[in-house]
């Protein structure tokens, strides 16, 4: 279930993509939960502008699948599945975001295995950016994409930064997240505590480079 909280106190229900089983545990973020509560900015710019990251992850998934078929499953560090899950997760979030509302917040339960896949993909992209020899093929693919698909060309570091921004929103774990999520789920009072927590969320997102 997804909910949109507006300043007039109304809560809008929206459907989400189907959840899958937990796939493991990421860098301590999912805490072995089946679903991770994410409170997202009502303005979807943060995820729409990173749509090209989805394309890169999809390309990595396809390349890793081919490498596996040719007997080189570690050519792109990870097998194809984590890359594909990460790409599909970004795509699902992009499609499920409501029309832009700067004064709204958006709640979704993200399956832990999807969050883990995003962290795994980010780890590989960081290794490629840092010119880790084991991630050389990843670096070549991502660099070719960023050099030939953008004017002016982008850098691999830009891809990492945009991926980090996505995860800064999805994995934000401060008291304000729990206060706002609880209020939305229980349709609790939108009093000073709620407004203060929402302001804390906006401040945390701005610190991560999300929002005005």
Q: What is the mean pLDDT of each run of 10 residues along the chain (212 residues)?
A: 38 36 36 70 87 95 96 95 96 86 84 94 97 96 90 88 93 90 80 89 89 67
Question: Which pLDDT value is given to residue 192?
Answer: 85
Provide the whole-model pTM: 0.79
Q: Is the dihedral of CA 35, 3, 167, 144 positive or negative?
A: positive
Determine the pLDDT at residue 176.
92
Calculate the CA 28 to chain-centre distance. Answer: 16
Nearest in space to 107 (alpha carbons), one of 12, 203, 29: 12
Instruction: Report how far residue 44's alpha carbon sits from residue 41's, in angstroms, rounded to the nearest whole number.
Output: 7
Q: Which residues have a Cβ under 8 Å from the Cβ of 151 and sit 6 or more positions away?
A: none
pLDDT of residue 106: 84
């Amino acid at each position: 279930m997804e909910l949109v909280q507006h300043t007039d106190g109304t809560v809008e229900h929206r459907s989400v993509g189907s959840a899958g089983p937990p796939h493991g545990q990421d860098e301590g973020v999912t805490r072995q939960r089946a679903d991770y509560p994410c409170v997202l900015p009502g303005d979807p710019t943060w995820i729409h502008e990173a749509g090209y990251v989805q394309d890169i992850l999809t390309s990595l998934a396809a390349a890793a699948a081919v490498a596996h078929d040719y007997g080189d499953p570690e050519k792109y560090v990870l097998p194809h599945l984590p890359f594909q899950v990460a790409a599909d997760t970004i795509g699902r979030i992009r499609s499920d975001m409501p029309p832009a509302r700067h004064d709204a917040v958006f709640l979704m339960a993200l399956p832990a295995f999807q969050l883990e896949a995003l962290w795994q993909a980010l780890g590989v992209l960081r290794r490629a950016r840092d010119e880790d020899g084991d991630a050389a093929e990843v670096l070549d693919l991502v660099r070719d994409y960023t050099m030939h698909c953008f004017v002016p060309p982008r850098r691999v570091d830009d891809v990492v930064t945009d991926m980090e921004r996505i995860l800064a929103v999805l994995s934000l774990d401060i008291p304000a997240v729990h206060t706002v999520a609880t209020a939305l789920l229980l349709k609790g009072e939108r009093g000073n505590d709620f407004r203060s927590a929402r302001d804390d969320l906006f401040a945390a997102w701005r610190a991560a480079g999300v929002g005005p």
